[in-house]
Structure 1
């Protein structure tokens, strides 16, 4: 069969590009995915009658009005109650660190100015931190680093913070106010009926054909694309690991039902120190669902399994750059475009991935349609 474009991957990036190609360019689109579902790692489903996030929590946030307007074609919204706490010892602290966290931890009263002056006495002076450990120490000092960051980072990445780039822990803000939200973005929302339903509506177009449980590398022998192919899987897999395997961090999820309305006081609790898992998630806090039972998901990072997180280390980045050169040749010679977190080996948020899909669509349109 022949299509105008083939898209390998039915996650957020693949679905957005597919919808735009089908609706705007009027192209015949084929979406392939090796899994048995759409929405990629944003998939949600019911377990014990409770809507949960299958592959860990996904908190939609954006300050991009155009992105929100686009997605609103396919979903209604409810407020995103994204509140996270970190368990240190026997206490739960608001996280990211804010004035309330500092007051609970140091047993002192602070306002914005006094908190900044206090942390100035704790910081390890470093104008040019070279790794995540140096970065955090330069912001909050040793006590907070050891309590909130060190153990969590060791578990999350299987690497010491001193071996990771500053950007890893740099993603987490330090607030000198009492804002206890997990993120700062202008719009913090949840799709009213869940992510899977949103993407189902997004690709419900007569020009889109969806094939699940299909391996792209086998299917491309049977299906041709007239203009382009978009690949959203791991870039090293595409090139059959010809330059070596890129390191990825994976996750294991353990779901437990509890016969009570809520088990936790917020959607996510981080465990930087005591447990083998990094966080426990109770999705009911953000789905708006009402039920007499609840489900908790404990999330444990592991080395083996599906690729979730690219390892932010110089050696892995150098290897990716070599693969990127192969990808450029593939785009030039075969019109295969590499998009999304896995294909570009980037640790990015969901809204950033969606914005990259917009950019990729514009690139494909200008190259193969506008001319």
Structure 2
């Protein structure tokens, strides 16, 4: 295979994994990133004053059923056991999430066994809603008004900046209740945290003689001319200088504070009441339970509409955005020599394991297409 010059925009998980896979095959890879560090929103750094490993852009917890992806990340760092056990404060009391048998018994003052709890929740459900269309209808149909208003309504309204009556039912895909005492937030086979943070892991992925990384470097489309192919993990609308307008995102603001001791006794405390302006508080030393630190670094997390200059976190993907997205996809598919990847490049919310899986598959598809002298796809998985 002829050696090619590859440009990758973004030094997060997508760019790092694609870059390494292509570098291993002898291609020369240049990666540019507008930030002054690698890792994108997964960036971690150790706080100088407390020694705590901080998830700078909010917590990232690795969980997957994909054995190949699990083996891949463990090839670059040691993942230590971590299970996400979330608590929530609602109506002046603390409960366990996701809603489970303990939550139900505590909330309703009962001592239900699993079958009793299941029958009780079914009685609470609004059976008049045959075909839920909105988030609120979906929640009312499955858990009833009391649990919905305590654990879902306020948090969702703060997270998305609109009434749950305006959100599609698909956001609440499954019955959000467990009829046992399992309070592990995720259900995947492999769960853990990198021993020394994600930035170290991504740095090792990028550590190859065929990879050059340029930080604090903005990408301009005309700069792609000297390369054989571009993999772009920045915002899809940003690639086209927002000529069709900006796609809708939610962004996050963090109010960082330190505490002498243990602030809340857990890594994540949600706040379900609308009167509390933040959605949750994260205490970062609890994301590394194998370490001991006297002091804490905490984030109060606020969600709001993303504006120019903000970091986009969550694609909104409601009706208006999907129509605009279709126009951007049409523009992208007319581009030659560029593949859009990752959460921003495809305007889809992706967990880390899915991001890595798609990056591996994208690199392999590119190598296969080159071997066949065929054109590379604009998207591995179309955004719509």
For this structure pair, what is the TM-score category when the shorter chain's length is used for normalisation?
Answer: over 0.9
Q: CA deviation at 1:222?
A: 7.4
Give aligned pairs, total: 363
In structure 2, relative to structure 1, the CA distance for the partners of 1:171 and 1:34 (3 Å cut) is farther
Q: CA deviation at 1:111?
A: 2.0
Deviation track 1:140-159 (CA, whole Å, cap 9, x = no partner) reads 11111111111111111111
Q: CA deviation at 1:102?
A: 0.4
**Kept in 1: contact 2:84–2:185 (CA 8 A):** yes
Which residue of 338, 348, 368 maps to 1:336?
A: 338
CA RMSD of aligned residues (A): 1.7
Tell me, what secondary structure is at the counterpart of 2:122? helix
Q: CA deviation at 1:172?
A: 7.6
**2:159 is aligned with 1:156:** yes
Aligned mates of 2:5, 2:131 — CA distance in 1: 49
Q: CA deviation at 1:265?
A: 2.0
**2:137 is aligned with 1:140:** no
Matches within 5 A, 1:264-283: 264-273=264-273, 274-283=275-284
State the partner residue of 2:369. 367
Aligned mates of 1:222, 1:348 — CA distance in 2: 26
Matches within 5 A, 1:1-371: 4-23=5-24, 25-47=25-47, 48=49, 49-125=51-127, 126-170=129-173, 173-217=176-220, 220-221=222-223, 224-226=226-228, 228-260=229-261, 262-273=262-273, 274-287=275-288, 288-303=290-305, 304=307, 305-330=310-335, 334-371=336-373
Q: Structure 1 segments of 4 or more deviating over 6 A?
A: none
**Kept in 2: contact 1:131–1:161 (CA 8 A):** yes
Deviation track 1:320-350 (CA, whole Å, cap 9, x = no partner) reads 12211211221xxx22000111111112222
Q: CA deviation at 1:312?
A: 3.1
TM-score by length of 2: 0.91
Unaligned stretches of 5+ in structure 1?
A: none
Tell me, what secondary structure is at the counterpart of 2:334? helix
Unaligned stretches of 5+ in structure 2?
A: 374-384
**Kept in 1: contact 2:7–2:224 (CA 8 A):** no
